[in-house]
């Protein structure tokens, strides 16, 4: 079965095959193909090649212009609904009355457009600031490369530094430790060259690169099938270095064979630039938007026809139906969403987290699976010496001393393991001070890729010399004749040899890189000033050194905290499964049986969907395989986060519901991410999850309470419209009531969420919102109808002449019950006893209730058709509100018992 990644994989492999073909070609044929020479290109030729091949730049996602960012801030389904209502309101309230010479009213339009403007501008400002902060994180250093160029063809070549963007195919480049590989290059000559490919593969251990073809020369171009080439991992080809990787140690000269988009790096960058996948937040907003639209399409015509037939005034009926449409819509929702997300972003910024896309905060809270790369995210991306052991696996300080002498006195470029030995010995012991004073260096035999070992000869106070050798276990055993055990030298027989191999293999299985240490005592009669490789014989094996890339100190605690909050963690890495299993166990993840990239490639989507639910570790993955796993987890109903820092993580970062990167990540990874962590601690992940759930919870509070309250009001209007000889409430009353209620809800972003709500992932649930509206909304209608009866029978507001008194009574009761019940519905606990709202919420509630009571007594009340109420009304109001709170609490308990959830 063909997966959706097939076309991308083919495109990817076309670049990979080209790289392999260059690896197999002779140097002369490559120079001829690119019309170059070992003397380098001329400046004129280089300039013309830029025009032919383009600049040496990879595709990247540019930050949109300010205008585009501003327009995108208004790209929200809720805003579209409100704008549609504003257009209809403009036609019915302003344009048509203007044509007929009647009084116009822009109140409703102004209210709606104010809400839309505030919402969009708040979102724009927060995301604009975040994008600026993300841009500032990018390196401001101008990266250059050293190339061999000639001013003219008759001029001698000279080494010059040029910007990376000016590198062209055919350039001769020079590399040394610390350099970034500027393009895909074929090595011409090298010395002790180690290259870190972690940015592409996720493997923290540098790989050796040669100027020979190595294993590749065992095949010829003629007998390699195209399908075989496609399956090879080009990153393992030993005479090709890839753009974006960096030189750890050694030097090299190479010829550029691909630049820009034609490089392996460039092909990955191209695959992740473009439109982002729809996230959990987008899907949730769309589902809720359509729910509200469906309710409107049902309720508005019903209200229109009931009022039209019962009152015989179709103009007023249309106007009131429009007010109902506005009343049903939680017009403050975009503003509440933006305010909540912006508050969350500000809170995250205080924790040194840059939120590039506000929607990612809610996705953070909804996340139930976090997929993470290993190197640099779970681990420190730093090699350390873990053990220094004798041949029996016991800690032996003399082995550390010998290893330090070997690493300290070698004159070549020290690799990561040499640095780890020196760092460990000097931090944990007084090795440098003591060792340097007791020994002096006589000679050394540098490391090479054939011997795979390095020897240093030193002398202490005696006339004897001591050769100290460290290297790969197999190569060390091949030149050893003895072992050192319990203070004596014993012959290295087959039994002891197999025991040493088994011990090293056991550490390899646990994810350690193992080196052996051996010595050779050279008596004064056999010493010499210079030694050769032939002198590396009859060594005595003293012990072993083990190395690893350790987990971050915060990884174990962070993963435990995520698990406690209902977030499962899966590891998606390009590294091998043995090391990944080791790291997972150390950070508290049960590794299970890893699933490898080669196995994934053979699976169709249906089979892989089953496997990804059962596995924790996915190893030896390509970037597109990581992305495929993310998408299939989403298809399975999960909200997925991805934590990564390399170019190989960029596709997965874009496809995840929330992409998380770090400030040390590659630019493309940071561009693809939604959230950038500035701190090394992973505990900020737990804080992000909690912040996301608090943000989402407060959004849901507003949406559920407002939608149900509005629905209850409209239900009450339907009942009243069928029996009253006048409109139960004027359109302007309904709009002002909604506006005041919405203003009271502006404090919700500062409200607290119950601890129980924060314990598990939360997602948009249109079905629950629908249930909430239908169950809780009509509860308020009971007391609206009781208020109708109160005003009709007790206060005799039962005629058209007395309708303003009726309107005033229902206006106050409707607003106060709607505002006060927020405290009943904001928590599933008993309000004011087990859970109290935050102080800003309480203040806004009291303020809006006071304003609502005052309006009928104010000049504004007279202008909009309200009148003061008698004092005898207010005891009835208190009784109604108290009864409503009690019934609402009862309904809440019934609802939770029946459906097992609240928000």
DSSP string, 557-619: HHHHHHHHTT-EEEEE-SS-HHHHHHHHHHTT----S-EEHHHHHT--HHHHHHHHHH-SEEE
How far apart are the C-alpha atoms of 253 and 185, rounded to whole Å?
A: 9
Beta strands in 79-226 (DSSP E): 144-150, 158-163, 172-175, 184-196, 207-208
Give the other-Cβ count within 10 Å of 305's Cβ.
14
Lookup: tokens for 619: 């190893």
373 included as an active-site residue? yes
How far apart are the C-alpha atoms of 589 and 492, rounded to whole Å?
A: 40
How far apart are the C-alpha atoms of 643 and 675, rounded to whole Å?
A: 9
Residues comprising the chain, all counted: 903
How far apart are the C-alpha atoms of 651 and 273, rounded to whole Å?
A: 9
DSSP string, 778-840: HHHHHHHHHHHHIIIIIS---SGGGHHHHHHHHHHHHHHHHHHTHHHHS-SS-BTTTB---HH
* Helix (H), strand (E), coil (C) string for 458-486: EECCCCCEEEEEEEEHHHHHHCEEEEEEC
Pairing, β 453-459 against β 440-445 = antiparallel
Lookup: tokens for 397: 């300080």
Question: What per-residue string of b and e applies to 600-634 under the rule 16 or more CB within 10 Å gives b?
Answer: bbebeeeebeeebeebbbbbbbbbbbbbbbbbbbb
How far apart are the C-alpha atoms of 685 and 874, rounded to whole Å?
A: 51
Lookup: tokens for 620: 């030896």
How far apart are the C-alpha atoms of 363 and 458, rounded to whole Å?
A: 61
- For residues 369 and 638, the answer to whether their CB atoms sit within 8 Å is yes
Q: Is 498 exposed, middle or buried (0-12, 13-18, 19+ CB in 10 A)?
A: exposed
Q: What is the DSSP code (8-state) at residue 828?
A: S
- Out of 368, 373, 381, 575, which one is annotated catalytic? 373
Lookup: tokens for 185: 């290059």
CA quadruple 726, 729, 733, 735: dihedral sign: negative
Strand partners, 444: 456
Lookup: tokens for 64: 């949109």
DSSP string, 211-227: SS-GGGGGS-GGG--HH
Q: What is the DSSP code (8-state) at residue 868?
A: P
How far apart are the C-alpha atoms of 642 and 653, rounded to whole Å?
A: 6
How far apart are the C-alpha atoms of 613 and 877, rounded to whole Å?
A: 56
Q: What is the DSSP code (8-state) at residue 94?
A: I
- 199 membership: H or E segment, kind and range: helix 198-201
* Helix (H), strand (E), coil (C) string for 528-563: CCCCCHHHCCCEEEEEEEEEECCECCCHHHHHHHHH
Helix, strand, coil percentages (3-state) for the chain, rounded to 5, are 55, 15, 30
> What are the CA-CA distances from residue 865 to residues 657, 732, 802 (Å)?
50, 9, 11
Give the other-Cβ count within 10 Å of 840's Cβ.
14
How far apart are the C-alpha atoms of 316 and 295, rounded to whole Å?
A: 21
Q: What are phi and psi of 171, to 5 degrees?
A: -65, 140
CA quadruple 499, 500, 506, 509: dihedral sign: negative
Residues designated catalytic: 373
């Amino acid at each position: 079965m063909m997966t959706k990644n097939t076309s991308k994989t083919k495109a990817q492999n076309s670049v990979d095959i080209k790289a392999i073909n260059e690896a197999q070609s002779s140097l002369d044929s490559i120079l001829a193909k690119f019309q170059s020479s070992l003397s380098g290109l001329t400046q004129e030729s280089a300039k013309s090649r830029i025009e032919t091949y383009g600049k040496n730049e990879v595709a990247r996602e540019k930050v949109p212009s300010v205008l585009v960012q501003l327009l995108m801030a208004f790209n929200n389904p809720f805003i579209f609904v409100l704008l549609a209502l504003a257009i209809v309101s403009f036609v019915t309230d302003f344009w048509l009355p203007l044509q007929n010479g009647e009084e116009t009213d822009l109140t409703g339009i102004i209210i709606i457009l104010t809400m839309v403007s505030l919402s969009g501008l708040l979102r724009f400002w927060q995301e604009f600031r975040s994008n600026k902060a993300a841009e500032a994180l990018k390196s401001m250093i101008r990266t250059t490369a050293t190339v061999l160029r000639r001013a003219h063809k008759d001029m001698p070549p000279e080494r010059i530094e040029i910007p990376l963007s000016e590198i062209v195919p055919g350039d001769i480049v020079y590399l040394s430790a610390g350099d970034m590989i500027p393009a895909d290059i074929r090595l011409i000559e090298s010395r002790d060259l180690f290259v870190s490919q972690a940015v592409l593969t996720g493997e923290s251990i540098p790989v050796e690169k040669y100027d020979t073809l190595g294993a590749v020369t065992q095949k010829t171009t003629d007998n390699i099938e195209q399908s075989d080439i496609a399956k090879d991992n080009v990153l393992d080809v030993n005479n090709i270095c890839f753009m974006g990787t960096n030189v750890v140690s050694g030097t090299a000269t190479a010829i550029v064979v691909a630049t820009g988009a034609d490089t392996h790096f460039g092909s990955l960058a191209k695959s992740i630039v473009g439109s982002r996948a729809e996230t959990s937040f987008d899907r949730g907003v769309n589902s809720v938007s359509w729910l509200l639209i469906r309710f409107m399409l049902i309720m508005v015509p019903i209200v229109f026809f009931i009022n039209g037939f019962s009152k015989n005034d179709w103009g007023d009926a249309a106007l009131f139906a429009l007010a109902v449409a506005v009343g049903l819509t939680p017009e403050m929702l975009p503003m509440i969403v933006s305010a909540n997300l912006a508050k969350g972003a500000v809170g995250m910024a205080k924790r040194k987290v840059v939120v590039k896309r506000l929607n990612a905060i809610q996705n953070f809270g909804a996340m139930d699976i976090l997929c993470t790369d290993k190197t640099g995210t779970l681990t420190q991306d730093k090699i350390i010496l873990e053990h220094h052991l004798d041949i029996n696996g016991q800690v032996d300080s003399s082995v550390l001393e010998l290893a330090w002498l070997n690493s300290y006195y070698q004159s070549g470029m020290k690799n990561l393991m040499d640095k780890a030995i020196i760092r460990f010995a000097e931090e944990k012991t007084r090795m440098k001070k003591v060792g340097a004073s007791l020994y002096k260096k006589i000679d050394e035999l540098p490391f090479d890729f054939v011997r795979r070992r390095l020897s240093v000869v030193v002398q202490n106070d005696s006339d004897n010399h001591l050769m100290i050798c460290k290297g790969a276990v197999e190569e060390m055993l091949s030149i050893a004749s003895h072992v050192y055990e319990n203070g004596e030298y014993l012959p290295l027989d087959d039994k002891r040899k197999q025991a040493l191999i088994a011990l090293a293999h056991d550490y390899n299985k646990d994810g350690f890189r193992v080196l052996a240490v051996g010595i050779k005592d050279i008596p004064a009669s056999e010493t010499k000033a210079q030694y050769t490789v032939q002198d590396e014989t009859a060594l005595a094996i003293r012990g072993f050194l083990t190395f690893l890339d350790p987990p971050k100190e915060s990884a174990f605690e962070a993963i435990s905290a995520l698990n406690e909050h209902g977030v499962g963690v899966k590891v998606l890495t390009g590294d091998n499964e043995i090391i990944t299993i080791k790291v997972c166990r150390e950070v508290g993840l049960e590794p299970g049986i890893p699933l490898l990239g080669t196995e994934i490639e053979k699976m169709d989507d249906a089979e892989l969907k089953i496997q990804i639910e059962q596995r924790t570790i996915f190893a030896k993955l390509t970037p597109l395989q990581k992305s495929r796993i993310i998408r299939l987890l989403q298809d399975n109903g999960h909200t997925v986060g991805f934590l990564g820092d390399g170019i190989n993580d960029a596709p997965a970062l874009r496809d995840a519901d929330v992409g998380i990167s770090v400030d040390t990540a590659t630019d493309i990874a940071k561009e693809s991410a939604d959230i950038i962590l500035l701190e090394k601690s992973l505990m900020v992940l737990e804080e992000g999850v909690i912040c996301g759930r608090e943000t989402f919870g407060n959004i849901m509070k507003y949406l559920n309470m407002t939608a149900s309250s509005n629905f209850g009001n409209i239900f009450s209007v339907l009942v009243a419209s069928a029996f009253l000889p006048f409109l139960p409430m004027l359109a302007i009353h309904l709009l002002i009531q909604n506006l005041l209620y919405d203003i009271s809800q502006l404090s919700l972003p500062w409200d607290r969420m119950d601890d129980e709500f924060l314990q598990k992932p939360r997602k948009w649930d249109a079905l629950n919102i629908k249930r909430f509206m239908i169950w809780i909304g009509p509860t308020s209608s009971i007391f609206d109808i009781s208020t109708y009866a109160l005003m009709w029978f007790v206060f005799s507001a039962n005629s058209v002449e007395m309708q303003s008194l009726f309107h005033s009574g229902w206006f106050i009761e409707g607003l106060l019950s709607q505002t006060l019940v927020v405290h009943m519905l904001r928590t599933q606990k008993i309000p004011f006893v087990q859970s109290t709202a935050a102080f800003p919420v309480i203040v806004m509630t009291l303020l809006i209730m006071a304003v609502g009571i005052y309006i009928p007594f104010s000049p504004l009340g007279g202008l909009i058709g309200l009148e003061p109420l008698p004092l005898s009304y207010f005891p009835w109001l208190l009784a109604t509100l108290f009864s409503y709170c009690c019934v609402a609490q009862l309904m809440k308990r019934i609802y939770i018992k029946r459906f097992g959830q609240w928000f």
